[in-house]
Amino acid sequence: MLGLYSKVANGGPGTDMGTSTSLYNGLSADEGYYYPTFYGYDVFTNNALTPIYYNIDGYWSGVYNNIYTANSLLLGDSTSSLPAAYRARVVGEAKFLRALCYFYLVNEYGAVPLVLTTDAQKAALQPRESVSTVYNQIIKI
């Protein structure tokens, strides 16, 4: 659980959900300006993103990595020998962080794949789900 919190907060440039989300949205909304421009963040300021922009790919991959970790924690709960109260807390926190990841993804990209498994082959073939389906999963926690 601690590892998941660490990745969510400090995943690195383009992959963490705190700094990156605030930075990208703030630049796109003209709430700020990133200087110097050689980092490439001017594409957000100019709303000129392309599908191959490296930070977007890093952000998408980083958030889905967080979702994988949360799913892994939830899967491991059924075989854990930890005390029930501790397991319940971990399950609640993992579900919350997975829901937060999907909240950011659906607000950034619209329809996104809804991956609730750790099976990489199944996840790779997962189609995008509608925004309402993703929001229903977020609410369901």
Q: Could you tell me the residue range of the domain that residue 110 belongs to?
A: 2-140
Q: What is the pTM of this model?
A: 0.79
Give Cβ neighbours of residue 104 (< 8 Å, ≥ 6 apart).
Answer: 17, 21, 63
Q: What is the pLDDT of residues 30-83, one digit of tens each?
A: 887 777 655 667 777 777 776 666 566 677 888 888 899 999 999 887 777 888
Question: Domain tally for the chain?
Answer: 1
CA 90/CA 102 separation, integer angstroms: 18
pLDDT of 86-110, one tens digit each? 888 999 999 999 999 999 888 878 8
CATH number of residue 37's parent domain: 1.25.40.390
Quote the distance between the C-alpha of residue 37 and its chain's center. 26
